[in-house]
Structures are given as structure tokens and as C-alpha cells.
Structure 1
Amino acid sequence: MKLSSVRKGPFTLYTIETGRFKLDGGAMFGVIPKPMWEKQIPADDQNRIDMAMRCLLVKSEQTGRLYLIDNGSGDKFNEKMSAIYDFSYPYGNLHDSLAAHGFTADDVTDVIFSHLHFDHCGGTTSYNEAGEPELVFKNANFWVGAKHWATANSPNIRERASFFKENLEPMRLSKRMKFTKEGDEFEPGFGMAFVHGHSEGQQLPVIRTGDFSLVFAADLIPTAAHVPMPWVMGYDMRPADTLSEKEVLLKQWFEEGCYLFLEHDAQNEVISLVQGKRYIEAGDAITLADL
């Protein structure tokens, strides 16, 4: 299984692979012409590109808490949806990855969501023998941006198809929902940045310890090909805002020496940032173990 880990200060970081799926390449790159984006990520005969659902497990040696950032799409899709997205598990699923690092879902104390689109939170629940969705993480708190929780529960017509009741309702009923806002931290050295172009209130977890910084880039920078300024997803609710957020945050993260952990890039796990002629660009592609 393609997994890696690293200890940085009080945090041990683990790659969690939850599966692969495919999305339309045109939708992933918006106004960028196919002859340009296909050089970066080739498409299949249905114009779909390979996408990872790579999550990050963070163990705090100070507090003993075990944080899981996002958890993939889960296993609740019917045959039609499975065919559309072509789900596959070349490196195992969520539970395989946890087990490879010596953990189970019951060990997770906190599930942090970048946002609640199905490919980021579907692993939160699974169907029981009665066909009802139940929580996979029996002992965890569920952390999401307060603004995004409101969006997920009252989405606009364009975004509605990305939020599934079977993922959200069991969390609501659990009484373990926790809501974050600007300036919050999960614990010292572990905070978040908020962005709103892709979906209102998306939170990007950030780990800072000593001279090391790592950003879970989620759907602000889903792949290394999305680092260049004009390369923005057609899925974004407010693409002009995404451009502004990228320009500000990439400059900040480059100056800070941040690495980006890429959730959806099927080939690249972590990248550095470098200064280009005009804007910040993607640097070296590495793994957690290389940090």
C-alpha cells in the first residue's frame, strides 16, 4: 500500500488512502482548454481524469488526540453512481489505511472536514444490515466550519447534488458536531485557513511547528496542476473568489516555506512552492516520508 508518515514536532502525520475515482476533466479545469490541461492529467475515453481521495491522519503527542482530515467517499454508492465515478481501491480503502498505520476508526478522536461534499465526508457513515446509515467513527467529534455547515444544510441548486443526507444527518443526531470560525485552533500549532470560492466556509487545516508548515490544500488546490493562477475548477461556486484566495494564500505559504498536502492529485502527495516569473508555482513533488 502506498502510504507514508513523518514526525514533526509534537505531531505525527500519516497518509490515508481512501480510494480513487474519476471526474470530468473539463469540469476540473473550468475555462482552461483541454489541449492544455490534458498535458498535465490525461483523460479517458469519457473525458474523465483520475482523482485521489487522499486524507491526512494527525496524531498529537502532546494531547493524545488522533485527528482524521476528511475521509473520502465511503461505500454507499449504488451501481449507477459507481459507474459514473468509476471508484477503485488500488491502495486499499479508509479502513485498510488506518490498519496499515496501526489504528482503527474507533481510535479516531476527531474528524475534521475541509467541507462536506460527498468525496470528502462520505466515509463518515456506512449502511448497517437494515440499510440505514450509521456513524463509522464511534468516538469522534466532527469539526466543520460554521458557515459551511449552514451551506451544506441549505445549499443552492447548483451545489445541492454534492451534499448527501445520509452523510450529514447521522452527524447532526450524534450531538458531537463542533463548529469552527476564523482564528480558531484545534490545539497549539494546528489551526486552519478559511476560503469561500469553492464552497462557502471551506477550511484548510494547517500544521505549524518549528520551521515546518503543511497545508491540507483540499479543493482550493486539488492537484499540482491547479497551482497556476488561471487554473480553477468549474466546480467552484465563486471562481473569481478562488483566484483571489489563491493569489493571497500561495504567496503567504511560499514566504512561510509551507508544503501543500494534495487530496485529489493521483500522482503527487505533497508539493513545495517556488517563485515563478509572475506568480507562485508548484515545486518538487514528494511524500510525507521525504519531509
Structure 2
Amino acid sequence: MMETLTVGNVKLTWLNGGVTNMDGGAMFGVVPKPLWENKYPVNEKNQIELRTDPILLQLEGKNILIEAGIGSGKLTDKQKRNYGVTEESQLEKELKELNLSPADIDIICMTHMHFDHACGLTKWEGEKMVSAFPNALIYTSDVEWNEMRNPNIRSRNTYWKENWEAIQEQVIPFHGEMEVVKGLKMFHTGGHSDGHSIIVIETGEEKLVHMADLMPTHAHQNVLWVLAYDDYPMDSIEAKQKWIPGGIEEGAWFFFYHDAIYRAVKWGKDGSIADEVKRNR
């Protein structure tokens, strides 16, 4: 059963985009393990489960995806082992259960283009890589799009040509911020990657905030708890200082792509969870 959250006239539906298991120390950076393991489960290999689950919503008559999952049939056995992949994407199957197909997706909002977000954008068709969502407009920041195509010595391990060459005609880069459709805005923040963005949805008096990999799980709520994977950690901290306290003050929902426990949470002003959507499958 797919988890959903309805806020105002917006319904979020989490689709199965695959699962990775990554090193807990890397995911919590310099935070000592005795602190973070009390907030998020870890296995005997020091790995934590991280979903890669695209989020479907409809706004202004458009079918919109947030992120694209890790795809299916694209990762090598070595990559699956290194990234702790225990399940690949079931996106097409789950869209079909909702009477949709990949061709029905109008918009994809990419907070950034690391492999675990962007692998699902393309797929193999015979010997050729093609777009998995042929009719979609794909939004990401101009900074992210530039680095995706011209990665540096560090980022080339996560920006792969297999994930962008087939979709480059569909990409709409934006600078600074952009209202993709009425009620849904993307804001370039930097931090996790130089081009990283977050997503804010407003519906009536309600707000939903997707911090993407600045806060990949509920356990990263502390503004100082940033990832060792972050290219610009001080930018991550600055963005978290701006958006998390403000969202809590406004009673916003925070929703997640990677969290294996919660799909979305609403925090009270004391920092405790006031409302929640848990992952049940």
C-alpha cells in the first residue's frame, strides 16, 4: 500500500524507487555515532537504510514527480554492492496501479542530479539509453545542470553521462528560484552539491517543505548534522538555519525522499514530532 499525505488540495504519493544502504558515519558526518544511532537504526555493517522513493503529486492539471529513483537494470553488481542496493525501482509498476504510465508524467523536479536521484531518468532500450519519461519537462538549477555535464574530480563519481545524455533536450535549468507551477517553487541552496535545491509547496494556508539531501531523514533535523557527502557543508548549515526553524514556526510539513521510517513529519515548536506519516511497507 503506497503511503500518501493530503494537505489542502495537494496529495503526495510515495512510489518505490529502490533502496540503498549507506555508511552511517558518512551520512551523519562528524556527529558521533552514540548520538545519531539513537535517532536512526543502523546495521552490523554500520549502514543505514535510505529509500530513493520519488514523490508523485498533481498540481495545475500536471502530473509531477519529485526525483526519479535509482532506476532498474542500470547499476552493475559492483555498484549495487558498494551502494548497498537491496531493491531496484518499481516505479512503472506502481504508476500503473495508479492508472498512469511514465509517458503521463509532465514535470520532474530534480533537487540535484546525484546518481541515487537521477538514475531513474533514463533506461536501456536495447543497446541505447533513452528517456524514461519522454514527455516530461525536467527542472533543476543551472549550477547543477552545468556540473552534471562537467563534473569535477570529486563529483564525477556521482554525475554520470548515462543519466543526462538522453534527457538533455527535456531539461529546463533555472537560476536562483523558480515557480514550476502555481504553488510549487524550487529554491537553489547549494550545500550538499553546489547546485542543490529545495522544494516548497503552498496550498491555501498550508506549507510543505522538501529539504532534499540537506535533511535526507528526520534524524537530520539538527542544523549542524550535515553529511560527509556535502560538498559545501557550511552552505548546508546556512540553508538549514533559514528553512527549518521557519517551517516549524509556520507549522509546515517536512517530507522526505530518503527516510526509511517517516515519509513526512510536522514538528512542534519544542522540536518534538507533532504529526507524522510513517512508512509501512
The 1:48/1:112 distance shift into structure 2, 3 A limit, reads: same
- Deviations along 1:118-165, one digit per CA (max 9) or x if unpaired, are 0111101111222x2111111111111111111222222222211111
Unpaired runs of at least 5, structure 2: none
Mapped partners of 2:272, 2:80: distance in 1: 32
Aligned-residue Cα RMSD (Å) equals 2.0
| 1:251-266 matched pairs, under 5 angstroms | 251-266=245-260
Residue number in structure 1 paired with 2:193: 199
In structure 2, which of residues 169, 184, 187 is the aligned counterpart of residue 190 of structure 1?
184
- Deviations along 1:4-47, one digit per CA (max 9) or x if unpaired, are 253632x3332222121111111000001112212222322322
Residue number in structure 1 paired with 2:4: 4
AA aligned to 2:37 is E
Mapped partners of 1:155, 1:259: distance in 2: 34
In structure 2, which of residues 59, 65, 82 is the aligned counterpart of residue 84 of structure 1?
82
Mapped partners of 2:153, 2:79: distance in 1: 20
The 1:136/1:99 distance shift into structure 2, 3 A limit, reads: same
Unpaired runs of at least 5, structure 1: none
* C-alpha deviation, 1:102, in angstroms: 2.2
The 1:33/1:211 distance shift into structure 2, 3 A limit, reads: same
The 1:106/1:7 distance shift into structure 2, 3 A limit, reads: farther
Residue number in structure 2 paired with 1:149: 145
The 1:282/1:103 distance shift into structure 2, 3 A limit, reads: farther
The 1:288/1:193 distance shift into structure 2, 3 A limit, reads: farther
Q: Answer yes or no: is the 8 Å Cα contact 1:5–1:288 preserved in 2.
A: no
Mapped partners of 1:55, 1:112: distance in 2: 10
The 1:284/1:40 distance shift into structure 2, 3 A limit, reads: same
In structure 2, which of residues 114, 117, 121 is the aligned counterpart of residue 117 of structure 1?
114
Query: TM-score scaled by structure 2?
Result: 0.92
SS at match of 1:17: coil
Count the aligned residue pairs: 278
Query: TM-score scaled by structure 1?
Result: 0.89
% same residue: 31
* C-alpha deviation, 1:264, in angstroms: 0.8
In structure 2, which of residues 131, 142, 155 is the aligned counterpart of residue 159 of structure 1?
155
Q: Answer yes or no: is the 8 Å Cα contact 1:6–1:288 preserved in 2.
A: no
Residue number in structure 2 paired with 1:48: 47
Mapped partners of 2:218, 2:7: distance in 1: 24
AA aligned to 1:46 is K
AA aligned to 1:85 is Y
Mapped partners of 2:265, 2:210: distance in 1: 11
Mapped partners of 1:55, 1:212: distance in 2: 22
Mapped partners of 2:177, 2:224: distance in 1: 28
Residue number in structure 2 paired with 1:99: 96
- Deviations along 1:212-270, one digit per CA (max 9) or x if unpaired, are 11112210110011001221110000111211111111122122221111111101100
* C-alpha deviation, 1:100, in angstroms: 2.7
Mapped partners of 2:11, 2:182: distance in 1: 14
Q: Answer yes or no: is the 8 Å Cα contact 1:227–1:282 preserved in 2.
A: no
Q: Answer yes or no: is the 8 Å Cα contact 2:111–2:212 preserved in 1.
A: yes
Q: Answer yes or no: is the 8 Å Cα contact 1:269–1:285 preserved in 2.
A: no
| 1:27-66 matched pairs, under 5 angstroms | 27-60=26-59, 63-66=60-63
SS at match of 1:208: strand
Residue number in structure 2 paired with 1:230: 224
Q: Does structure 1 residue 220 correspond to structure 2 residue 214?
A: yes
